[in-house]
Every structure is written in C-alpha cells, then in structure tokens.
C-alpha cells in the first residue's frame, strides 16, 4: 500500500512552501544548474542586486553561514527553483507560505516583492538581526516531545525565576517540536527544565536567536526599511507566519513581517490552515527537505515533495502527471 508521501490526489490542490535559515547547504542548486539555465540566471540577477556574488558565497561555507549572506543566498536558491517549477507545473498553486525567512521568498514568488528588493531586504534583515545581539551570548534549542503549552510554560518559568534569563518559544514547527530562542542563560535554563521532564532538548547551531524578544530592536529598524519598499498585489495568496493567515494589503503584510522577527513562527498552524483549505500536495521550493520532513509530523500530514535536486524534481513531476 502506498504511503501518503508517495501519492497525490488525482485533483491536485497545490501549495508551495519555502524553507528558512538552517536549510542552506554548501553548493546548493549546483546539480539543478547543470540542467536548468534559470538557476544561474536567477543567481546572477540576485548578485547584481546585492553587489556580491551569491553563487560564489554558496561555495564558501564560512560566508554562507553568516546571517547577512545566508538569507539572500537561500532566497536566491528558492526563487531560482521557483522559476524552474513555473516552466514545469501546469496547475497554479492555490497558496504560498514560507518558514521565517522563507516568507520573503513566498512574497517574491507571489509578485509582491521584486527579486532585487527582496534580496536587498533580507540582506538588511540579516544585518539588523546580527546587530541586535552584538555582545550578547545567545542560543536556540529544539525541544522534542512536549506539548506547545508546556514549552511556553517552561520558558515563562525560566524568565521569571532565573536571573537575567530571556527566552521564549520561537518556532512551533510540528506537534512535539518547538524551538526556543533567547540568551544563553535563558535557553540553557529551559534545556535543564526539559531534561527534568525526561524529554529532549537539542542546542542548534545558529548565529542569531530568531523570533524572540532580543530581536525587538531589529524589528523596529526593519519596519523603517519596509516603508521604503514597494509591495504589489499578490498573484497567489501568501499565508504569513505571524498569524497563519493571508494579509490582503501591503500595510498588513509589512506589519506581519515586522512582528515576525520577534514573534514565533506558527508553522503547525500554517500547515493546519492548508489542510483546512483542502491542499493535498505541498512542494518545498528551496534548499533541502526540512519542511517536507516537518509535513510528515503534522497532526494531519500532507504529501510534500522537495525539489532541490534533479531526482527529487523528477519524482514530483511523476506524481503530478
């Protein structure tokens, strides 16, 4: 019997999902670039907007993992693959969504942002995030096996009872997987509390603590930067992280992006929203398969297909045909 991940409904209702920071890998999209000229063309366009060679950055692990370069590199990879998909998929996606940084890729794919504006914006976002925590010892950790509310309670207890602790839930990724973020004192306090329950918490290798109170200065500065960027009407609705809903005007979209920096990513809620809208095929558009793996762990899984390698793209086309 075929599993949900191996089959698609005869009537495909598609949503495209775009990965965020942490999905980057050295040399991402290289195999696709050998087959599809859109890959290198997109990177060239993005590099011109940034004033840096993003293709070269993707071959340099040290630079690729610097937040201000990770973000535009991932966005370029996602939009490059999106352009390949546009020439291959005949069914128009019903919705787009992106995890954290991936939301900018989704907005670019939806025509809300130009590629040049999106690249410059996420580069600025990365710089602001780094500046916000300069000189602060920070951390993020994935908590496994606890309910969302329980993780939030542990964060509140750490903040209230541990001197100097700043920590909160950053990503509600799937049932039983919540990422916490803050300063090292706060995150380590939560890790201790999680381990006392018999569950697991794993420190993540990140350079900035996303989606927590430490990002409020970056959020305020990003709001100013967003006022200078033109946002157009979306040609495909984008479900945003802040409230797991579609914002219909540019002010609402910008407000959600601003708040997203210091508020948690509601990914599980976003996935449930897609279930409620009868989506039965997810296409992960970008580096890796992190979001496809998360899709399997949702309360109501949707078949999800990564597209970052030729074999994976072939698998998707086989399913859709």
Q: Which positions are annotated as active-site residues?
A: 100, 211
Rounded CA separation 181/208 (Å): 9
- Residues 285-299 as b/e (b if ≥16 CB within 10 A, e otherwise) read bbbbbbbbebbeebe
List, in sequence order, every beta strand (DSSP E) within the chain: 14-18, 95-98, 138-144, 167-174, 177-183, 200-203, 238-240, 245-246, 281-284, 304-306
Query: Which of 212, 278, 269 minimizes the C-alpha distance to 245?
Result: 269
Rounded CA separation 12/15 (Å): 10
Rounded CA separation 63/44 (Å): 18
Q: Helix, strand, or coil here: 212?
A: coil
Q: How far is CA 230 from the centre of its chain?
A: 22
Rounded CA separation 110/234 (Å): 5
Residue 307: CA atoms inside 13 Å, Cβ hemisphere, count? 28
Rounded CA separation 28/290 (Å): 14
> Which ranges of 87-183 would DSSP assign to H, the alpha helix?
102-109, 115-132, 148-161
Enter the tokens of residue 27: 């040399």
């Amino acid at each position: 019997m075929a599993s949900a991940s191996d089959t698609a409904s005869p009537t495909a209702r598609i949503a495209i999902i775009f990965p965020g920071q942490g999905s980057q890998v050295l040399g991402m999209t290289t195999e696709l670039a050998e087959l599809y000229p859109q890959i290198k063309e997109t990177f060239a366009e993005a590099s011109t907007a940034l004033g840096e060679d993003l293709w070269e950055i993707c071959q340099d692990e040290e630079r690729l993992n610097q937040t201000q370069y990770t973000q535009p590199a991932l966005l370029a990879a996602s939009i490059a693959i999106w352009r390949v998909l546009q020439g291959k998929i005949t069914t128009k996606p019903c919705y787009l969504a992106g995890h954290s940084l991936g939301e900018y890729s989704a907005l670019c794919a939806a025509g809300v942002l130009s590629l040049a504006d999106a690249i410059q914006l996420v580069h600025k976002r990365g710089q602001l995030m780094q500046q916000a925590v300069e000189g602060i010892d920070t951390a993020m950790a994935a908590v496994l096996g606890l309910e969302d509310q329980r993780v939030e309670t542990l964060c509140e207890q750490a903040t209230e009872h541990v001197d100097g602790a700043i920590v909160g839930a950053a990503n509600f990724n799937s049932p039983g997987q919540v990422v916490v973020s803050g300063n090292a004192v706060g995150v380590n306090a939560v890790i201790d509390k999680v381990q006392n329950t018999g569950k697991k918490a794993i420190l993540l290798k990140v350079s900035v603590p996303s989606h927590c109170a430490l990002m409020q200065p970056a959020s305020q500065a990003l709001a100013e930067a967003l006022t200078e960027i033109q946002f157009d009407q979306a040609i495909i609705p984008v479900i945003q992280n802040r409230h797991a809903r579609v914002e219909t005007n540019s002010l609402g979209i910008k407000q959600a992006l601003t708040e997203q920096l210091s508020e948690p990513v509601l990914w599980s809620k976003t996935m449930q929203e897609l279930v409620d809208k009868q989506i039965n095929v997810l296409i992960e558009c970008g580096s890796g398969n992190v979001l496809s793996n998360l899709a399997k762990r949702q309360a109501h899984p949707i078949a999800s297909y990564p597209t970052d390698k030729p074999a994976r793209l072939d698998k998707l086309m086989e399913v859709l045909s």
